[in-house]
Amino acid sequence: MSTVGSYIRERFFPHLWCPGCGHGTVLKGLVTAIDELGLRKNDIVMVSGIGCSSRIAGYLDFHTLHTLHGRALAFATGVKLSKPALKVIAPMGDGDALAIGGNHFIHAARRNIAMTAIVMNNRIYGMTGGQYSPLTGYGKSATTAPYSNIDHDFDVVKLSSAAGATFVARTTTYHAPQMVEILKQAFSHNGFAVVEILSQCPTYFGRKNKLGDAADMMEWFKNNTTPIGSKASRENPALIERGVFVREEKPEYCCEYDKIIQKAMKGRE
Amino acid sequence: MARKKLKEHVIVLEWCKGCGICARFCPKQVLALDDSEKVRVVRPEECICCGMCELRCPDLCISIESEQAGGAVLT
Amino acid sequence: MSEMVRFVQGNEACAEAALYAGLRFFAGYPITPSTEIAEAMARRLPQQGGKFIQMEDEIASICAIVGASLTGYKVMTATSGPGFSLMQEGLGYAVMAEIPCVIVNVQRGGPSTGLPTGPSQGDVYQARWGVHGDHEIIALTASNHQDVFEMTVHAFNMAETYRTPVILLFDEVIGHMRERLVLPGPGDIPVVERLKTSVKAGVDYHPYLPREDGRLPMSDFGGEHRYNVTGLFHDMWGFPSDNPNIVHGLLRHLVDKIRSNVDAITRYKEYHLDDAQTVLISYGCSARSALHMVENRRARGDRLGLLELQSLWPFPYRLVEEKCANARHIVVVEMNTGQMVRSVKRAVRNPEPVALANRIDGNFITPNDIKNILRLIQGKGV
């Protein structure tokens, strides 16, 4: 096993994800990024919600907190604000983060509290058997949209940016080296970082929408995404852009609160 | 940068679920799925140590051990 | 007025008591009639280097305090009925994952939006069963500000001792009225500190393996030991399991750790019970009127007594049975349609003489209300 093997809880492998599930690739990218940054295991807290994506936490040898559906960022806020020195990473599913968790997502971004929200977007609720999520998209098929989905999706990057996130990026499981690079930047960012990773669910989203096998779905990521501002993007606006969309330095929430503490303590004298 | 030379593909076969991603995207067709739908190194001499199989495998079952042309072993 | 004596609302007494007990992190959301607790925490916590945050809703509040508790802090949130309803899932998580925290519910008229500024005691059974699944819970209450202070400290102590969430069930009367409070000095009330593991780094730490004495030492997130915390049924390392032995064992542990410690958890006060023919049982604001009634009638020679419960859950069945053994009439005084009275009926040998004296119109029950109901029970008319 390579050096990244030391970051995983090997005794639980092989993991529970389906053959070809993109989440395994995200796991690999995540530990590779942490290894390349040289982060200390005892400094890292992984806070996940509920769903296939959220199971990632249990496989990692860090402080791991597997919480409630949609609530990872609320728990994470408590962890981070109480001990700002900790590196907090919140891997979540698309439904987990943006449906039931939408409110917490918006406000964590608004606060610009330093943590990384990884939205593992496979456009479906996988663990419960393939129901549509806010990211499934118009016209797609799912078990709770058997006649075709009439819900439109929204743009995670635009939502994150509007809510105040100061680092916003998108990549895919096909673009694994870019994923590692983006995750490194996100983990190093002193503010709220959102990394959307398009991931394949061959078992439900893929099968229900006749998208082929896992490799076919990754091929789709390769052919239907493009770097931000590329010539291809200008010629074909339907392509999904990949890369870092937002990178800003703004006061971070825990640092701001430390100033409040100083103010409050001075006020007493 | 010195060219990397393959020492071996370290594969944890119990973890492989036969998804075929490694084989599909290997630029040199080094890997393939065998009859029991597990990964096999079929053309090791073609491997350029790009590391894509290691990075993309969802089951974390592949790692590349390589050497610099010159002898040092890298993982 | 000396520094140690204050004239404050019950909410403020609760806030000060939490600080006394070692509170360092509060996350909350405004809701009448509990908002003053959040406001006090916003002012006072940073003065002591602690942290306050107003979250986006009550669900976020309970989740945030659970997260903060895992880094080693004593934590609290405060709300009222509608917010308490929202918090049930997070509360259940703290029960399952055995995470110490304190949740204040300053009860108001309900259900639903109800009466934001009117008192009731309608959440008693919700405090017991609001969380889904089999579980036990500790819920405490108080009828005056000195006891609010003491019960708040007791809540933190129970949370740490049994690694469990504890509910402080106050009401709008206690929360908002102003009363004299004598601030205890350091050490006057014992404070239980978090039990930390003595297992060294590199040695396997089991977050969910009880010691011989039943207590579960904790290890802070960020510390030497890396482990998993989940709301799923889990083994002693905190990893999910559906193994029947593990599920059975964990559920039994969660329930028994509270049930078998009822005596250590129970708090109550008694007035004139030795020779009482009519025993009033009450709690919270209702107990103030009940006590007034009892003192008033005693002065006229009536053999009334009062058992004031300060711990509602786990319900002290044995205590109630004992104190009511010689009573001819047992009257439960509460501001709801009859909640605690159900538990009292189950506790006493003969439930026939158990009656309810209540008020449910959003106004504080008065001694006169209780007097009239007693007269009716005794067949004397009003």
The C-alpha torsion from A160 through A161 and A167 to A173, rounded to 10°, is 50
Same domain, C55 and C156: yes
Confirm if A176 and A168 have CB atoms less than 8 A apart.
no
> Which residues in chain B are closer than 8 Å to A215, comparing Cβ atoms?
19-21, 24-25
Return the pLDDT at B66. 86
Confirm if A72 and A105 have CB atoms less than 8 A apart.
no
pLDDT of A101 higher than 60: yes
Return the pLDDT at A66. 97
Question: Is B20–A20 a contact, with Cβ atoms under 8 angstroms apart?
Answer: yes
> Which residues in chain C are closer than 8 Å to A57, comparing Cβ atoms?
228
Question: A232-244: b or e for each residue (b if 16 or more CB lie within 10 Å)?
Answer: ebeeeeebebbbb
Question: Is A261–C46 a contact, with Cβ atoms under 8 angstroms apart?
Answer: yes
Confirm if A88 and A45 have CB atoms less than 8 A apart.
yes
Which has more pLDDT, C257 or A5?
C257
Q: How many domains does chain C have?
A: 2
Chains within contact range of chain C (3+ C-beta pairs < 8 Å): A
Is position C12 within any domain? yes
Q: Does the beta carbon of A11 lie under 8 angstroms from any beta carbon of chain C? A: no
> Which residues in chain A are closer than 8 Å to B56, comparing Cβ atoms?
25, 28, 173-174, 176, 218
> Which residues in chain C are closer than 8 Å to A265, comparing Cβ atoms?
46-47, 49
Q: CB-CB: which of C64, C68, C226 is closest to A42?
A: C226
Question: Is C224–A58 a contact, with Cβ atoms under 8 angstroms apart?
Answer: no
- Choosing from C235, C250, C265, the residue where a domain stops is C265
> Which residues in chain A are closer than 8 Å to B54, comparing Cβ atoms?
2, 28
HSE of C121, CA atoms in CB hemisphere, 13 A: 33
Contacts of A226 (CB under 8 A, 6+ apart): A232, A233, A236, A239, A240, A241, A242
Query: What is the band of B74 on the pLDDT scale with cuts at 50, 70, 90?
Result: low
Query: What is the band of B75 on the pLDDT scale with cuts at 50, 70, 90?
Result: low
HSE of A63, CA atoms in CB hemisphere, 13 A: 23
Question: Is B57–A25 a contact, with Cβ atoms under 8 angstroms apart?
Answer: yes
CA separation (Å) from C79 to B5, C42, C142, C293? Answer: 64, 15, 16, 31
Which residues on neighbouring strands pair with residue A192, listed in sequence order? A115
Q: What is the pLDDT of residues A218-237, one digit of tens each?
A: 999 999 999 999 999 999 99
- Choosing from C265, C283, C303, the residue where a domain stops is C265
Confirm if C174 and C120 have CB atoms less than 8 A apart.
no
Which of C357, C315, C311 has its CA nearest to residue C338?
C357
Q: Which of A75, A89, A100, A113 to mutate to test the interface with C (most CBs of C within 10 A)?
A: A75
Nearest residue of C to residue A255, measured between CA atoms: C51
Q: What is the mean pLDDT of chain A?
A: 96
Is position C127 within any domain? yes
- For residue C219 the two structure tokens come to 């290890």
Q: What is the mean pLDDT of chain B?
A: 88
Is position C382 within any domain? no
Instruction: Give the whole-angstrom CA distance, residue C145 versus residue C17.
Output: 10
- Choosing from C235, C265, C295, the residue where a domain stops is C265
Instruction: Give the whole-angstrom CA distance, residue C34 versus residue A3.
Output: 52
Which of C273, C298, C268 has its CA nearest to residue C283?
C268
> Which residues in chain A are closer than 8 Å to B14, comparing Cβ atoms?
14
Nearest residue of A to residue B58, measured between CA atoms: A24
Question: Is A29–B55 a contact, with Cβ atoms under 8 angstroms apart?
Answer: yes
Q: Does the beta carbon of A21 lie under 8 angstroms from any beta carbon of chain B? A: yes
d(CA C289, nearest CA chain A) in Å: 39
Question: Is A68–C229 a contact, with Cβ atoms under 8 angstroms apart?
Answer: no
pLDDT of B1 higher than 90: no
Sorted by where each starts, the structural domains of chain A and their CATH numbers stand as 3-268 (3.40.50.970)
Q: Does the beta carbon of C133 lie under 8 angstroms from any beta carbon of chain A? A: no
pLDDT of B49 higher than 70: yes
> Which residues in chain A are closer than 8 Å to C68, comparing Cβ atoms?
78-79, 81-82
Q: Which of A7, A63, A96 to mutate to test the interface with C (most CBs of C within 10 A)?
A: A63
Confirm if C285 and C142 have CB atoms less than 8 A apart.
no
CB atoms within 10 A of CB B64: 21
Q: In this complex, does chain C touch chain A, defined as having at least 3 beta-carbon pairs under 8 Å apart?
A: yes
> Which residues in chain A are closer than 8 Å to C24, comparing Cβ atoms?
82
CATH class entry, domain B4-74: alpha beta
Question: How does pLDDT run along chain C (382 residues), one tens digit per residue?
Answer: 457 999 999 999 999 999 999 999 999 999 999 999 999 999 999 999 999 999 999 999 999 999 999 999 999 999 999 999 999 999 999 999 999 999 999 999 999 999 999 999 999 999 999 999 999 999 999 999 999 999 999 999 999 999 999 999 999 999 999 999 999 999 999 999 999 999 998 888 899 998 888 889 999 999 999 999 999 999 999 999 999 999 999 999 999 999 999 999 999 999 999 999 999 999 999 999 999 999 999 999 999 999 999 999 999 999 999 999 999 999 999 999 999 999 999 999 999 889 999 999 999 999 999 999 999 988 888 8
Q: In this complex, does chain A touch chain B, defined as having at least 3 beta-carbon pairs under 8 Å apart?
A: yes
d(CA A264, nearest CA chain C) in Å: 5
Which residues on neighbouring strands pair with residue C269, listed in sequence order? C308
Q: Which A-chain residues 85-104 have CB contacts (< 8 A) with chain C?
A: 85-86, 103-104
> Which residues in chain C are closer than 8 Å to A61, comparing Cβ atoms?
226
HSE of A177, CA atoms in CB hemisphere, 13 A: 5
Instruction: Give the whole-angstrom CA distance, residue C214 versus residue C198.
Output: 16
Query: What is the band of A5 on the pLDDT scale with cuts at 50, 70, 90?
Result: confident
Q: Does the beta carbon of C71 lie under 8 angstroms from any beta carbon of chain A? A: yes
Return the pLDDT at B67. 82
Model ipTM value: 0.96
pLDDT of A160 higher than 70: yes
Q: CB-CB: which of B18, B25, B75 is closest to A2?
A: B75
Q: Say which residue the tokens 């959301």 belong to.
A: C29
Residue A44 φ then ψ, to 5°: -105, 130
Return the pLDDT at A269. 40
The C-alpha torsion from C13 through C17 and C23 to C24, rounded to 10°, is 50
Same domain, C303 and C259: no
Question: Is C229–A12 a contact, with Cβ atoms under 8 angstroms apart?
Answer: no
Which of A181, A167, A169 has its CA nearest to residue A29?
A181
> Which residues in chain B are closer than 8 Å to A219, comparing Cβ atoms?
24
Q: Which C-chain residues 139-178 have CB contacts (< 8 A) with chain A?
A: none
The C-alpha torsion from C327 through C328 and C334 to C336, rounded to 10°, is 140
Return the pLDDT at C2. 55
Question: Is A82–C89 a contact, with Cβ atoms under 8 angstroms apart?
Answer: no
Same domain, C340 and C320: yes
Q: Does the beta carbon of C186 lie under 8 angstroms from any beta carbon of chain A? A: no
Same domain, C359 and C292: yes
Q: CB-CB: which of C61, C222, C228 is closest to A83?
A: C222
Q: Which A-chain residues 12-51 have CB contacts (< 8 A) with chain C?
A: 12, 41-43, 45, 47
Return the pLDDT at A1. 47
Is position C141 within any domain? yes
Confirm if C290 and C356 have CB atoms less than 8 A apart.
no
How does DSSP assign chain A, residue by residue? --GGGGGB-GGG-S-SSPTT-THHHHHHHHHHHHHHHT--GGGEEEEE-SSTGGGGGGGBSSEEEE--TT-HHHHHHHHHHH-TTSEEEEEEEHHHHHTTTHHHHHHHHHHT-SEEEEEEE-SSBTTTTSB--TTS-TT--BTTBTT--------HHHHHHHHT-SEEEEEESS-HHHHHHHHHHHHH-SSEEEEEEE---IIIIIHHTT--SHHHHHHHHHHHEEETT-HHHHH-TTSEEEEEEEE-----HHHHHHHHHHHHHHHH-
> Which of the 8 DSSP states describes residue B27?
T
Return the pLDDT at A2. 62
Which of A120, A89, A103, A55 has its CA nearest to residue A193?
A89
Return the pLDDT at C207. 93
Same domain, C71 and C199: yes
HSE of C18, CA atoms in CB hemisphere, 13 A: 32
Is position C309 within any domain? yes
Q: Does the beta carbon of A14 lie under 8 angstroms from any beta carbon of chain B? A: yes
Nearest residue of C to residue A48, measured between CA atoms: C230
Q: Which A-chain residues 157-216 have CB contacts (< 8 A) with chain B?
A: 173-174, 176-177, 180, 202, 213-215
Question: Is A103–C56 a contact, with Cβ atoms under 8 angstroms apart?
Answer: yes
CATH of the domain at C351: 3.40.50.920
Q: What is the pLDDT of residues B8-43, one digit of tens each?
A: 899 999 999 999 999 999 999 999 999 999 999 999
Determine the structural domain holding residue C181 and report its residue range: 1-265
Chains within contact range of chain B (3+ C-beta pairs < 8 Å): A
Return the pLDDT at C213. 84
Q: What is the pLDDT of residues A164-223, one digit of tens each?
A: 999 999 999 999 999 999 999 999 999 999 999 999 999 999 999 999 999 999 999 999
Question: Is A173–B59 a contact, with Cβ atoms under 8 angstroms apart?
Answer: no
CATH of the domain at C175: 3.40.50.970
Nearest residue of B to residue A30, measured between CA atoms: B55
Give the 3-state secondary structure of residue C45: coil
> Which residues in chain A are closer than 8 Å to B59, comparing Cβ atoms?
13-15, 24
Is position C284 within any domain? yes
Return the pLDDT at B70. 47
